């Protein structure tokens, strides 16, 4: 028999062994060699006792039902910059996101119509002044004649009245000029405070209308979270109350005080707008999304330490201590409350569980 013929059986044996090992590995990964635990109470192979320092009683307590409502971070101070008159927009100096200082030019309006009105008003002043000068001269001549008994009292009173009327016309014409010049100042829109431009609503060439905003600016300080809360829960919130706010963008949870509650109820959503004053948080900007967390109701709950819960795959189990022996109990949990967790099923009030099973010897 040749050496090549001897190697063939060895290769077949090695291949068979490899296949068997692979099959056993797959069975092990599927848990075929681990006995499954049936639901309910399971007695461990060796019962052990635990020190009292590692045990905790299942406590029945009234807890708050914490609900969350979405909200938006907004500035306390917001200004809509709009013209006081109707005129075409010539230029807008800012864009959304720009930081501006008090007094900075926001936009300019077309002044040609205003200048035309000013020239017309100045012409009216000149005409009124000429008439006033003539009336003044007539009054001076009549006074001279009256002093020489060459004019009657009636003539003097008439020219004096004309003089006063002409001067009143001059004053009225000058007031019209001043009013028009005020409109010239209104043709340049300026920032009323330091802030950030959040919206640009018009473009150069658009018609600026009195009271219609061109841009919106707000201050980055004094931020508040504004959230619409159902009326059934809004009644539990009071001004000055401390509430929890979560800002997902910054991955931060903080507390704030309820600053304002709008009494008006939205007829469509049956909600009220609640505004929460926020502390100074680095990176927080108007427009960020946030959550208001607040208790809306209460219920009775069974609580145990979070550390008492063990996870075996997708199962939740605890070690229950009774008569000095430990038994494994399957449970189902819900929300956490600090270092405690609510148990929905599997335990009863007053039972004793191992608080730190990993530390039990």
The three-point CA angle 5-6-9 to 5° equals 95
**Distance in angstroms (rounded) separating the CA atoms of residues 307 and 339:** 8
Which CATH code for domain 41-63+300-359? 2.40.420.20
Concatenated DSSP letters of 294-323: EEEEEEEEEEEEGGG-EEETTEEEEEEEET
User: No. of H helices and E strands in the chain?
Assistant: 4, 21
pLDDT band at 6 (very low <50, low <70, confident <90, very high): very low
The whole-number average pLDDT for the span 61-88 is 88
**Distance in angstroms (rounded) separating the CA atoms of residues 247 and 279:** 12
Predicted confidence (pLDDT) per residue in 224-248, tens digit: 999 999 988 888 888 999 999 999 8
What is the CATH T-level fold of the domain 79-104+195-218, as seen in this structure?
Answer: OB fold (Dihydrolipoamide Acetyltransferase, E2P) (2.40.50)
How large is the angle between the packed helices 112-147 and 153-186, nearest 10 degrees? 160
The domain segmentation of the chain, as residue ranges, is: 1-34, 41-63+300-359, 68-77+219-297, 79-104+195-218, 111-186
pLDDT recorded at residue 31: 47
DSSP SS3 for 172? helix
The whole-number average pLDDT for the span 43-61 is 63
pLDDT recorded at residue 145: 82
Biggest CA–CA distance in the chain, Å, is 170
To 10 degrees, the CA torsion angle through 263, 266, 269, 272?
-20
In the chain, the percentage of residues whose pLDDT exceeds 90 is 30
Predicted confidence (pLDDT) per residue in 292-306, tens digit: 988 887 788 889 999
Q: Is the dihedral of CA 52, 55, 61, 67 positive or negative?
A: positive
pLDDT recorded at residue 92: 94
**Distance in angstroms (rounded) separating the CA atoms of residues 77 and 75:** 5
The whole-number average pLDDT for the span 211-233 is 90
pLDDT recorded at residue 39: 46
pLDDT recorded at residue 90: 93
pLDDT recorded at residue 35: 43
Predicted confidence (pLDDT) per residue in 101-114, tens digit: 999 999 999 888 87
State the average pLDDT for the chain.
83
Candidates 106, 112, 103, 104; CA nearest to 92 is 106
Choose which CATH entry (2.60.120.380, 3.40.50.150, 3.40.640.10, 2.40.30.170) describes domain 68-77+219-297.
2.40.30.170
Token pair, residue 285, equals 């900007």
User: How far, rounded to the nearest angstrom, does the alpha carbon of residue 329 sit from its chain's CA centroid?
Assistant: 45
On the question of pLDDT at 190 being above 80, the answer is yes
The whole-number average pLDDT for the span 102-127 is 87
Which CATH code for domain 111-186? 1.10.287
Predicted confidence (pLDDT) per residue in 307-356, tens digit: 989 998 889 999 998 888 889 999 999 888 878 898 999 898 889 998 88
This model's pTM is above 0.75: no
pLDDT recorded at residue 54: 84
**Distance in angstroms (rounded) separating the CA atoms of residues 292 and 257:** 11
């Amino acid at each position: 028999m040749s050496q090549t013929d001897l190697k063939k059986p060895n290769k077949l044996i090695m291949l068979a062994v490899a296949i068997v090992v692979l099959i056993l590995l797959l069975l092990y990964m599927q848990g075929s060699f681990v006995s499954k635990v049936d639901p309910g109470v399971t007695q461990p192979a060796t019962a052990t006792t635990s020190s009292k320092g590692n045990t905790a009683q299942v406590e029945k307590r009234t807890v708050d039902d914490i609900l969350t409502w979405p909200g938006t971070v907004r500035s306390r101070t917001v200004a809509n910059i709009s013209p006081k008159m109707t005129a075409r927009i010539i230029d807008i100096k800012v864009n959304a996101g720009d930081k501006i200082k008090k007094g900075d030019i926001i936009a300019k309006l077309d002044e040609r119509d205003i200048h035309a009105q000013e020239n017309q008003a100045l012409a009216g002043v000149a005409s009124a002044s000429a008439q006033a000068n003539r009336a003044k001269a007539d009054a001076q001549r009549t006074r001279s004649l009256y002093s020489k008994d060459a004019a009657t009292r009636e003539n003097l009173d008439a020219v004096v009245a004309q003089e006063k009327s002409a001067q009143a016309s001059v004053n009225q014409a000058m007031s019209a000029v001043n009013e028009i010049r005020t409109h010239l100042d209104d043709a340049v829109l300026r920032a009323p405070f330091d802030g950030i431009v959040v919206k640009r609503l018009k473009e150069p060439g658009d018609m600026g209308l009195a009271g219609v905003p061109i841009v919106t600016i707000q201050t980055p300080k004094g931020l508040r979270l504004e959230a619409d809360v159902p009326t059934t829960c809004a009644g539990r919130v009071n001004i000055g109350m401390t509430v929890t706010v979560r800002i997902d963008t910054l991955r931060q949870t903080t507390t704030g005080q309820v600053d304002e509650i709008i009494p008006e109820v939205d007829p469509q959503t049956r909600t009220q707008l609640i505004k929460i004053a926020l502390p100074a948080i680095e990176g927080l900007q108007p427009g960020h999304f946030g959550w208001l967390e607040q208790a809306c109701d209460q219920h009775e709950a069974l609580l145990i330490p979070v550390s008492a819960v063990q996870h075996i795959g997708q199962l939740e189990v605890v070690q229950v201590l009774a008569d000095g022996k430990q038994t494994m109990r399957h449970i189902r949990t819900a929300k956490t409350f600090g270092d405690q967790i609510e148990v929905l099923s599997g335990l009863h009030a007053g039972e004793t569980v191992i608080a730190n099973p990993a530390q039990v010897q």
